[in-house]
Structure 1
């Protein structure tokens, strides 16, 4: 039980959060650094004290040894009487522990304790007798001391005595220990300042990490990383035009390098939804790199230009919707023709019942010849049956809406053109271009003209109408983003159709162009471009 309680106490004392643990380690490190600095400062103060003491005792001993009065006193009848007062006066003025002047044999003439005069000097004299200035630490009569001994010369250059000056280590210890309160004060202030700074850092870290522990952050990161890689939806986080985060699916959909990060302004084909704008966006269609993408963008609260962008691949669905729309329009045209045929059939039957058989036969034959001629023209110009049927349906649809529809005489589509573009893709391109043209015609002069030329090496589709056309900027936008066909607010952008066409063209490396010449002319070229064909119906 005591060990369990002790363990709980230790766990309670150890910070749980990452901020707490980081600050605790930093505080411990700062404490060690401050303690080590304080110890080094104390050692340095002691070393400086010893160095100053050596310099001071050396200066005192050399000064007395060089003084002429010292040599004169040493050669007098009573050196002690002449030298003792002088050395005591100098010792009191300089603060050294002792000044001993002695004979070459070590007999003292001066000493701090007068009773020691006449005794033998305790310390090394051999270096001084050789003419050297020698400093040492030696345990003398006053205790361990730092002392310097210097020779004294007479006028003839002979050594007539020695001068020793020293400071006890006890007095030196008192000197450097007097600096300890200052060192401790500085260390305490440094620790307090570091503690306040680390406390502020802890508060900031707590806000940035949400008060989570390191293990919780690790688990969160691992789960976060696993979710990002597992998502089948592209996810991009931008910060002021820079990629802060991109998952695998987004890299695939946007054709980004695996190590791509940083500024996106240098991308060759930068999607406009990654332009640094953080305005909200919900399920907006784009065509990017031959794919139809549905993009949503949500600003990050307080993110200063940051946004979360989700990207979903709707390429196959968009293609299917485009084909379904074309087939729906075709079916509507067939129903219209069936309704018209039913009306004519009723008219013919009524004329027969009225006994006007010849008129009935003439009406039936003229309608049959007209329909057959139209079918023959379409079949001769367009070898692909599905595309010919689509054009026939568009003719009926245009006729029903009062729009003049013409397939130019230059049109010639060979059967082998399907090697270049699949039938479904061909229907998507031609059908959507015609639908856009039918929606954009000038009501005062409604006409649409179609040219289809193609073989195994190249395909060119040109659709012209009497509408106002699109400026280059709007034309580029209509290829990248889908506009609703039902809004009516965008006169030039006519639905997702142009985006689907652009997707097919991009997939096959073709070109999609628009110009306003004899009308609004939109041209698709896949393969080797041929000479532009088409003429004004007027």
Structure 2
């Protein structure tokens, strides 16, 4: 068995397009040549059938003519019928018309010297009254002939009429059709080759002239990469979702099988090419989305990265950074206070120095002690202390209510508490009234649910704005016109993950309340 690789490079094309076209050319050539052969055979068979019908019709017409029987019975058959048969033979372009007696003696013949001789051929069926045809070799060579009986007025068979066409004449007739068949064949072959050439150009453009083994390797690599990359990949075209790899299905919660456009999140359903590192929040993830249009292909490639864990870590880092900044500021402030205490001692007023030094210390220590006793989560204590210091620097009165009480077995983890409360406090700091800036924080948990409430002196948000902020990551800051805020969206993600609710209202201030039921 011969394989394609064993053929020389010049004997068989290497590219997929070349091999496909070579096979098509072979198939087209075989089909066209086979069709030509069948057309020639059909033309020959049709010619023989037409000739058979023609000679039967001529023989029958002459045999049924009353003048033929009358001439035979009168004994003037040759004189009367010879001119008639020759005239008919000439006008119909057949080889011969022979009228004979029942014993086969010829009355007429194309060759007058054959008149009076015996007819060469089968006559028995005609003597029994049948009209039939046969192929027989006579004086003029092989011919297709028909024999019909001639009946008298009383029904007796008084003679026979034979009409025939030589096979040489038939061959000349169907060979005359060869130029037409050849022209049709050439036209069909030319049209087929033009079509094949157009297909070749299209295949070359679509396969870029690659060989079948190169295409197979490319597909294997493509498939392996799609299944192994850690980023989600989605290809969108005019018909919807053309491709979605395993990671994209995992990040977006898509089921196996074909993916419809309506299965995608809202932010992927509309065409928006050119997006770079856009953050979107789903029910349980923070995703970074990049979109790019494929030039000339009418499709769009979307890459998705998971930033959920990183976002949580950044939230904790931000809280620690706030605490560190607050500690640094307090260290600077403590240095100023220490200089004041030293100066008071030098001025001979030690009692005033002690009273000044211990008043600030007692206030700070009292807050640390109260939060440490009331809240069993160290990360949350650190967050509240840091936010309190940060608010103090910004001139905002941040109060942790006396109702705040949280045991170590909180419904939310420390990281989730930092995400929820840290973002709510940050939003409150940005939204509170600058003429009367205050924030009030309450965190409690009973046997039924965890409650987190953050109130501020700001105007609050209406229900539509609040819902939009939770769904897409919305910011009301003038410095963020693109709407890339993620605060409330991240809070809503954590709360929904645990089956809780998040609501906003305006009562004694702008109040945002998160409740999470205990399992």
Alpha-carbon separation, structure 2, partners of 1:443 and 1:32: 90
For 1:273-288, list aligned pairs within 5 A. 274-288=268-282
1:341 CA displacement: 4.9
Displacement of 1:361 after TM fit? 5.8
1:523 aligns with 2:513: yes
TM-score, scaled relative to structure 2: 0.88
Inter-partner Cα distance in structure 2 for 1:253 and 1:411: 37
Pick closer, same or farther for the CA change 1:301–1:478 going to 2, 3 Å. Answer: farther
Listed as ranges, the gaps of 5+ residues in structure 2 are: none
Q: How much does 1:350 deviate?
A: 4.7
**Counterparts of 2:213 and 2:482, CA distance in 1:** 57
3-state secondary structure, aligned to 2:277: strand
Q: Does 1:465 align with 2:459?
A: no
Q: In 2, distance between residues paired with 1:17 and 1:521? A: 70
* 2:447 aligned with 1:430: no
CA contact 1:241–1:275 (8 Å) conserved in 2: no
Q: How far, CA to CA, are the matches of 2:474 and 2:30 in structure 1?
A: 68
Does 2:283 match 1:270?
A: no
Shift of 1:60: 0.7
Question: Is this contact kept in 2: 1:240–1:277, CA < 8 A?
Answer: no
Deviation at 1:502, TM superposition (A): 3.7
1:438 is displaced (CA, Å) by 1.0
Which residue of structure 2 lines up, in the alignment, with residue 3 of structure 1? none
**Residue 475 of structure 1: how far off its partner (Å):** 5.0
Out of 234, 237, 251, the residue aligned to residue 236 of structure 1 is 234
1:508 correspondence with 2:498: yes
Q: How many residue pairs get matched?
A: 515
Alignment pair present for 1:248 and 2:241: no
Change (3 A) 1:307 1:103: same
State the secondary structure of the residue aligned to 2:74: coil
Partner of 1:323: 316
Alpha-carbon spacing, 1:395–1:9, altered in 2? closer, same or farther (3 Å): closer
Tell me how far apart the structure 2 counterparts of residues 225 and 344 of structure 1 sit (CA, whole Å): 68
Q: CA RMSD in A?
A: 3.1
Task: Name the SS for the 1:112 alignment partner.
Answer: coil
User: How far does residue 338 in structure 1 lie from its aligned partner after superposition?
Assistant: 4.5
1:195 aligns with 2:193: yes
Larger deviation: 328-337 or 363-372?
363-372
Q: Choose from 297, 302, 314 the match for 2:291.
A: 297
Gaps of 5+ in 1: 1-6, 530-538
Offset from partner CA, 1:399-430 (integer Å, 9 cap, x none)? 2211132334654434432xx21122212211
Could you tell me how far 1:382 is from its partner in structure 2? 4.0
Contact kept in structure 2, 1:146 and 1:167, CA below 8 Å: yes
Instruction: Report 1:412-491 matches (<5 A).
Output: 412-417=405-410, 420-455=411-446, 457-470=448-461, 475=466, 478-479=469-470, 489-490=479-480
Q: CA deviation at 1:195?
A: 1.5
* Aligned partner (choices 388, 395, 418) of residue 388 of structure 2: 395
Q: Measured at CA, do residues 351 and 8 of structure 1 come closer, stay the same or move farther in structure 2, by a change above 3 Å?
A: closer
CA distance in 1, matches of 2:269, 2:193: 44
> How far off is 1:182 after superposition?
0.6
- Who is 2:98 aligned against? 100
Cα deviations by residue, 1:178-207 (Å, 9 ceiling, x for unpaired): 010011011111111222222222222222
Aligned partners of 1:470 and 1:30: how far apart in 2?
A: 74
| CA deviations over 1:374-403 (Å, ceiling 9, x no partner) | 456646754545424432332232222111
Distance 1:301-1:473 versus aligned 2 partners, 3 A rule: farther
- 1:536 is aligned to none
Q: TM-score, normalised by structure 1?
A: 0.86
Say if 1:414 and 1:455, in contact at 8 Å, map to a contact too.
Answer: no
CA distance in 1, matches of 2:464, 2:192: 60
CA contact (8 A) 1:416 1:456 kept: no
Q: Distance in 2 between matches of 1:95 and 1:30?
A: 39
Q: CA deviation at 1:356?
A: 5.0
Worse-matched range after superposition: 334-343 or 29-38? 334-343
Q: Does 1:154 align with 2:152?
A: yes
